[in-house]
Amino acid sequence: MAGVIGGLPDAVLQFAYLIAGVLFIQGLRDMTHPRTATRGNQISALGMFVAVAVTVLWFEILSPLVLAAALLVGGGIGAWLAVTVETTEMPQLVGLFNGFGGGASALVAGAELVDLTATGSGLPVGVTVTAAIAGIIGSVTFWGSLVAAGKLHGLVGDSPVSTNVGHGIKVVTLLTALAGGAALVVQPGIVGGGLADLVPSYWVLVVAASVLGVFLVVPIGGADMPVVIALLNSYSGLAAATTGFVLDNTVLIIAGTLVGASGLILTVIMCESMNRSLVNVLFGGLGSDEESEDMADIYEGSISETSAEEVEMLLDVADRVVIVPGYGMAVAQAQHAVAELAELLEEEGVDVEFGIHPVAGRMPGHMNALLAEADVPYDKMRELEEVNPTFSQTDVVIVTGANDVVNPMANTDDSSPIAGMPVLNVGEARSVIVNKRSLSPGFSGIPNPLFAQDNTSMLFGDAKESMQELVNVYKENR
């Protein structure tokens, strides 16, 4: 099996994998600061290059052309997607990429099984167990990620499946997948007769796990997709690590485990920011119909509407302004207008900062990425804990496209679905401008008493149009 450099001792390959593993870890370490993060990403990519290059050179490649073609096709598609994507669409793209990682793991495990059977090498228990795990996790990740990406992109609607039927399908498919795995481990050729070479029990497992993946994600609300994607990311890492056990490959184990850890930690952080448990995200929906009734009571007669002209007058006398962006701003692509407004205010000597809730947007840190795209300086972006104590000394807060993350009910109403969720206490500011298309509730489905507060005015309209108008009015009056 010696390839180009295969004549060298096996330790050389292992040593190269060690270097790749170190590069991955160093790359992640550099990600702990924005200043070094770009370098970290490059170091990590270098690690990947080392690992792939060594593997290609080491193992005897039967068809270098096929391999080169696959790398070229995959690289081309990946690069094209990355270059053409809009920042707002990034979460679904990350979800999609993630799915491909999981799918690849499932296919590799399958290919290895087919190969071992065909060459008559037999299937050791260690290989079948890990292949079964990689197959289940990989297939669930692939289909789950596709559904998650589809939901974020608006291609897949929210749950058409009744809960009971859905749970039934999940249980049946999970059991089928596990049975397939058991058959694979106990007696690989148990079914199939002439098809035994194809390792049919493995493919039964893959199909069952695929259906399971779809039904796991379909009932989950679109707003919870970031959590789901982080969790699936963790799964795809674990699938890679398990493949490492199958192929006895150390760098797969190291890298896969790192990804598994990062996905899991991000999942936990997001759940904490929403004050929800993972079980709740995965099995329980937020919001209920009964809540909508009292919405009218809360808003009735206490909503004051404002205009860009009026907001400009407020800004004119303000010393400190905090802008709170949300998903509405992201969807409307209003980040450039918002950034321009912030810059204009600064030129007039106003102290401007951005208050960013950890789960604003569709991925943790999504708002930061969007604002960075619009050239908002890094040091203007404040996290929740930092900005909350400052609201009482703030003249104007502009909430644009955010809803639940500024809902005071999280602090005041213990029975509310978002009770206990850390929120931005914008209501403490002298005046609050809420830019929103309508009074419709956010993803939690509950009304927001902030809108009815005496110091709150509603600036109705699309975030981009409203912010652009505000910029224009502000400029005219300078």
Partner 1 sequence: MTFVGNLTLFVLSAFVGYEIITKIPTNLHTPLMSGANAISGITLLGSVVVAGSGSTTLATALGFVAVVMATINVVGGYLVSHFMLDQFSQRGK
* Residues in 94-133 that interact with partner 1 by CB under 8 A: 94, 97-98, 100-105, 107-112, 114-115, 118-119, 126
34 is an interface residue for partner 1 by CB under 8 A: yes
Q: Which of residues 123-182 bind partner 1 (CB under 8 A)?
A: 126
Nearest-approach distance from CB 39 to partner 1, in angstroms? 9
CB 184 within 8 A of CB 128: yes
- Which of 204, 217, 253, 421 is the binder for partner 1 (CB under 8 A)? 253
Among 140, 251, 315, 405, binds partner 1 (CB under 8 A): 251
The DSSP code for 381 is E
Amino acid at 62: L
Minimum distance, C-beta of residue 64 to partner 1, in the bound complex (Å): 8
Stretch in the footprint of partner 1 (CB under 8 A) among 52-60, 282-290, 392-400, 441-449 = 52-60
CA separation, residue 255 to residues 86, 203, 217 (Å): 28, 26, 26
Q: Which stretch binds partner 1 (CB under 8 A): 150-158, 163-171, 284-292, 365-373?
A: 365-373
Site for partner 1 (CB under 8 A): which residue of 4, 8, 81, 155? 81
Which CB atom, from 249 or from 431, has the smaller least distance to partner 1? 249
Q: Which of 19, 85, 191, 314 binds partner 1 (CB under 8 A)?
A: 85
48 versus 295: smaller Cβ distance to partner 1 = 48
Helix/strand/coil percentages in the chain, nearest 5? 65, 5, 25
CA-only gyration radius of the chain, Å: 26
* Residue 230 binds partner 1 (CB under 8 A): yes
> Counting contacts by CB under 8 A, is residue 75 touching partner 1?
yes
Q: Out of 16, 44, 132, 469, which residue is the one contacting partner 1 (CB under 8 A)? A: 44
Among 2, 78, 165, 186, binds partner 1 (CB under 8 A): 78
Beta bridge partners of 75: none
Q: What is the spatial distance between Cα 380 and Cα 325, in angstroms, rounded to a whole number? A: 13
DSSP string, 413-463: -TTSTTTT-----GGGSSEEEEEESSS---TT----GGGGSTTEEEEES-H
Beginning with the edge strand found earlier in the chain, give each strand of the sheet holding 381-383 in spatial order: 381-383, 351-356, 320-325, 396-400, 431-436, 456-460
404: annotated active-site residue: yes
Pick 137 or 429: Cβ nearer partner 1: 137
- Closest to 148 measured CA to CA, from 60, 38, 228: 228
Instruction: Decide: is 372 part of the binding site for partner 1 (CB under 8 A).
Output: yes
Could you say which residues in the range 409-468 bind partner 1, by CB under 8 A? none
Contact 135, 206 (CB under 8 A): yes
Site membership for partner 1, residue 84 (CB under 8 A): no
Catalytic position from the list 404, 413, 454, 462: 404
Q: How far is it, in rounded angstroms, from Cα 244 to Cα 254? A: 9
| Window of 289-297, 345-353, 364-372, 455-463 that interacts with partner 1 by CB under 8 A | 364-372
Q: Do the beta carbons of residue 263 and residue 226 sit within 8 Å?
A: no
d(CA 315, CA 294): 33
Q: Give φ, ψ of 86 to 5 degrees.
A: -85, 150
Q: Does the protein bind partner 1 through residue 369 (CB under 8 A)?
A: yes
Kindly state the smallest distance separating residue 342's Cβ from partner 1, in Å: 12
Q: Does 210 bind partner 1 (CB under 8 A)?
A: no
Q: Supply the residues annotated as catalytic.
A: 404
